[in-house]
Each structure stands twice: as C-alpha cells, then as structure tokens.
C-alpha cells in the first residue's frame, strides 16, 4: 500500500537516499572540528592501560618482570607467567599478543591523528600540542615493540582494508629507531608544556624518552657508541636543568595516590578509582592470605628474596613498607599481624584501596626523575669517564636511600655501581629487562656482580640463552601475515 501511494503521489526516494546520515562518522566527515582532534588523540592514550590489566590469569606487564629472573609468583594458573619465568616461553603466550595488538592499535590511532589533525581548522598552538602528544605516543609504542620483538612492521600511514600495508613486511631495527627519534624530535618543536599535571604528555616526558632512546641506541643491538651516549647525557641534562622535576623526599611518596603526576613523576599511565581503576593491586597481594578488602588476592607477582638481599646493608628501600613488605594486618582483625614469608611490592601498594575502597586510582609510573638521573650519570661516564656531575646525579638517589655517596671509582667501577643502583631503584617498574638486553648484562644476586646476559643462570635454575634477547612474535601474527619472520629459537 505504501509503495502504491508513493507511486501515485509521485514521491521519489532519490532525495532521501542522497541525504547525509549525520550520525555515520567516516574519515572524510569526522575530522572537521577541534574536539575531533582531541578525541582521536585521547584514543591513542587508550592503548596504555590494557598492558597493566591484572587478574587470576596474571598480567601482560609481568612478562617483562619474569624475564629478569628477579620475580616470583604464587599464581599457578597463570601459565603465561610461568612460561616466561621458566624460560620456556612460546609464541602462543597471550602476554606477547596483548602487547602486539594493543600497541599497534595505538599506532594506528596515532597515524590517524598525525594524518588528519593538520586538516582541521583550529587554534594552531593547540593543534601543534595535540600533534606533539600523538608523536610521543607513537614513539612510545614503537620503542616498546622494537625492544620486545626486534624487526617489526613500521607503519606510519593510515591503514584500511585496501591498503598495501595490510600485510606488511618487517623493517630493520635501525629504521624503527630512526622513526622513533624523528617522532620525538618533532614533538620537541610542538610547544608542549615542560610539566603537565593532568597526566597528558609533557615536554619533560618527550625529552626523557628521547634520552632513554639515545642511551639504548648507544648499546645493543645498534651499538652506536660514544656519540649517542653524549646525546643521551645532553637530553637528560635538559630535563635536569629545567628545574621542573625533583626526587620525592620520602620513598613512601612514590605510592601516595594524591601525589600522582607530581614531584618526580614525569609520565604515568592514568587511573581513576571507580572509573578506570588500577588492577595491579590484586596482583601484588600475597595469595589468599586475608589481608586485603579485595576478594581477589592473586599472588601474581612478588620480589625474589635473593634480589632483595642483594641491596647494600642499611639501604632504606629494604626497610619494611618502603619498597617491600613482609607482614600485614588481617582483614578479620586489624590488630593481628600476619607474617607473609616473602617480599611483596609495597612501592605499588595503594593503602586506601587495600583497606577500604577496593578501587584504586594509583597511576603506574612510566618515567620518573630518578631514571633521568641514572641516564645522565651512565651516559656521562660512558662518554667521558667519572666526573663530579655523574657522581652528583647517582648520589641524589643514594642519599634518599640513606646510603653513602659514591666517590673515587674507576670508569668500570662507576659503570657497575650505576647499573646496580638503577636495578634496585627501578625494580619491578618494567625497566630491568630492557637494561639487561641493552647491556647484554645480568645481575648475579648471589655474587653481587654483573655477568654476561647469555649464559646467566637465574637463582632458581633456568639459564638464559640467546633467544631470550627477544620475545616471540605472536603465532596469530605470523600465521596471518606470511611476510613476518619468527624470531630465532621460537
């Protein structure tokens, strides 16, 4: 009947069919307003939290900790953790797949932002800052992927189903690093504020990551040497000389939620209680010991006791409830203290969430000022040998730990002292494995000495081989893209 009426009345569907559906966003009609630029950059940030997701299956971030041989677990059902810890990892590990999928999604969103934001009519300063954030985040994702997987696809254009890059070939490690440097040096010109209290990317974060990148390029696998050590030191010094960051006076400030994005925190993964809570809290609890208001006490990760004992005598970081805790009150009776038997991670412990709310707004530290001081000290020493500036940098961290100043060391002695200090200060913050691979060195917690990475034996038995210099490319990626090559040994 309706069709008949339309025919009788002479109505035409043509106009209706040609009318634009305002709710149907496409690449062509979406990027037209300033808020569209902000929303696409916000989507790039969304790639940061998933790596930290933790539960009874473990958490992807733990992959980098168990690969050091310095972490332990009570979570027998977290097979992905156990495979990495036992050095029997394989390409079916979901941790690696999460890194690959999440970070390439972030890269695609960054490519979209970098490609489309320049077309939008908006304040030029705001546009430049958003582009600077996008460049930083793309560099961040690639910096992790290239160190974890080695030769990977390098994609800087927007990909669709018709794109020739749907099945990309891997690029050389050096090509990926060159793109990372290009993104970061471009971000340096974007007018970002040096310090940013909201958790967005700052100029301090850009320069900090660039100093880290130069330090890595100086070492393995590129081995660019002295020039890049000089560049790393210079970039770290820019952060130091800005006066925008300083060490917290107390170690316990590091896990004080109200201080997130302040003090020595340069860049963090952002969380908000009851909105997007930090789930690392359940993972760092001892397994079902009844000490937390959280029902899920997973025992997902804790410190290797031999590693904690490798700290210098008198190091404040090893005191109870500084970096670690070995006892806690019971949920059923807060006047009763339970001895836990191992060293759990106080440095990530949100006391209010654990005791009251069961929802944590504690951020995860990506870059903090202590790391800048280590980069500066190490790079200076590698380029020029011991100097007062190098001593001053590393001694700032030691003084907070109530340790005596380093002085009068040879270049090699200072080198190893800085490495050890960094191993201890940044432990369980996803830093140590990257340093092990960059230096091709591992810390022997029994002897207190550094030894070759390949051939290093973990204190609980397994021995590192050359294949552990990289993680395996996920099975699904190799299966679906014949241009990818699996890493040696997997």
Domain ranges of the chain: 271-362
What contacts 241, CB < 8 A, 6 or more positions away? Answer: none
Residue 162: what pLDDT?
A: 81
Please give the pLDDT value at position 6. Answer: 36
State the virtual CA torsion across 269, 275, 281, 282 in degrees, nearest 10: -130
The pLDDT of residue 344: 98
Given a contact cutoff of 8 angstroms between Cβ atoms, the answer to whether 249 and 400 are in contact is yes
Residue whose structure tokens are 């340790």:
403
3-state class (DSSP) for residue 72: strand
Query: How many whole angstroms separate alpha carbon 382 and alpha carbon 219?
Result: 11
The DSSP output letter for 320 is: B
C-alpha 469/C-alpha 147 separation (Å) is: 9
| Burial category of 7 from C-beta neighbours within 10 Å (exposed 0-12, middle 13-18, buried 19 and up) | exposed
**Residue 105 contacts residue 482 (beta carbons within 8 Å):** no
What's the pLDDT score for residue 10? 42
- 367, β-bridge pairs: 267
pLDDT of residue 30: 80
Quick one: pLDDT at residue 164? 78
| Residue 41 pLDDT | 98
The model's pTM is 0.94
Q: What is the CA radius of gyration of the chain?
A: 25
Query: What pLDDT score was predicted for residue 4?
Result: 39
pLDDT in tens, the chain (490 residues): 333 333 334 434 444 344 445 555 566 678 889 999 999 999 999 999 999 999 999 999 999 999 999 999 999 999 999 999 999 999 999 999 999 999 999 999 999 999 999 999 999 999 999 999 999 999 999 999 999 999 999 999 998 888 877 899 999 999 999 999 999 999 999 999 999 999 999 999 999 999 999 999 999 999 999 999 999 999 999 999 999 999 999 999 999 999 999 999 999 999 999 999 999 999 999 999 999 999 999 999 999 999 999 999 999 999 999 999 999 999 999 999 999 999 999 999 999 999 999 999 999 999 999 999 999 999 999 999 999 999 999 999 999 999 999 999 999 999 999 999 999 999 999 999 999 999 999 999 999 999 999 999 999 999 999 999 999 999 999 999 999 999 999 9
């Amino acid at each position: 009947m309706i069709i008949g009426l339309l025919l009788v009345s002479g109505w035409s569907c043509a106009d209706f069919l040609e009318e634009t559906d305002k709710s149907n966003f496409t690449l062509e009609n979406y990027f037209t307003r300033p808020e569209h630029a902000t929303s696409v950059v916000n989507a790039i940030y969304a790639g940061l939290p998933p790596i930290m997701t933790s539960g009874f299956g473990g958490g992807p971030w733990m992959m980098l900790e168990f690969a050091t041989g310095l972490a332990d677990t009570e979570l027998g059902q977290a097979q992905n953790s156990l495979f990495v810890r036992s050095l029997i990892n394989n390409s079916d590990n979901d941790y690696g797949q999460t890194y690959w999928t999440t970070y390439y999604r972030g890269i695609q969103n960054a490519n979209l932002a970098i490609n489309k934001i320049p077309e939008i009519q908006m304040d030029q300063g705001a546009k430049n800052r958003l582009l600077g954030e996008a460049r930083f985040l793309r560099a961040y994702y690639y910096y992790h992927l290239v160190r974890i997987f080695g030769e990977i696809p390098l994609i800087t254009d927007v990909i669709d189903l018709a794109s020739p890059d749907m099945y990309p070939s891997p690029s050389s490690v050096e090509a990926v690093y060159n793109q990372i440097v290009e993104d970061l040096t471009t971000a340096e010109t974007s007018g970002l504020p040096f310090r940013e209290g909201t958790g967005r990317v700052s100029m301090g974060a850009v320069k900090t990551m660039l100093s880290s990148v130069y330090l890595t390029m100086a070492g393995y696998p590129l081995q660019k040497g002295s020039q890049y050590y000089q560049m790393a030191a210079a970039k770290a010094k820019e952060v130091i000389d800005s006066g925008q960051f300083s060490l917290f006076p107390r170690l316990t400030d590091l896990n004080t939620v109200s201080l997130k994005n302040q003090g020595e925190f340069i860049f963090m993964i952002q969380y908000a209680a009851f909105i997007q809570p930090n789930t690392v809290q359940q993972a760092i609890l001892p397994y079902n010991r009844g000490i937390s208001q959280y029902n899920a006490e997973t025992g997902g990760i804790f410190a290797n006791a031999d590693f904690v004992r490798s700290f210098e005598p008198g190091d404040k970081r090893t005191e109870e409830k500084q970096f670690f805790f070995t006892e806690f009150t019971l949920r059923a009776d807060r006047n009763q203290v339970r001895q836990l038997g191992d060293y759990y991670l106080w440095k990530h412990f949100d006391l209010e969430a654990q005791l009251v709310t069961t929802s944590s707004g504690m951020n995860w530290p990506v870059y903090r000022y202590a790391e800048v001081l280590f980069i500066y000290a190490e790079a200076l020493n590698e380029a020029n040998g011991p100097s007062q500036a190098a001593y001053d940098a590393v001694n700032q961290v030691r003084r907070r730990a109530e340790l005596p100043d380093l002085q009068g060391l040879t270049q090699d002695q200072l080198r190893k002292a800085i490495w050890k200090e960094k191993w201890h200060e940044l432990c369980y913050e996803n830093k140590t494995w990257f340093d092990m691979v960059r230096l091709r060195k591992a810390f022997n917690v029994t002897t207190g000495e550094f030894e070759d990475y390949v051939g290093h034996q973990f204190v609980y038995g397994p021995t590192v081989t050359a294949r552990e210099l990289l993680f395996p490319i996920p099975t699904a990626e190799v299966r679906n893209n014949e241009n990818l090559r699996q890493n040696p040994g997997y």
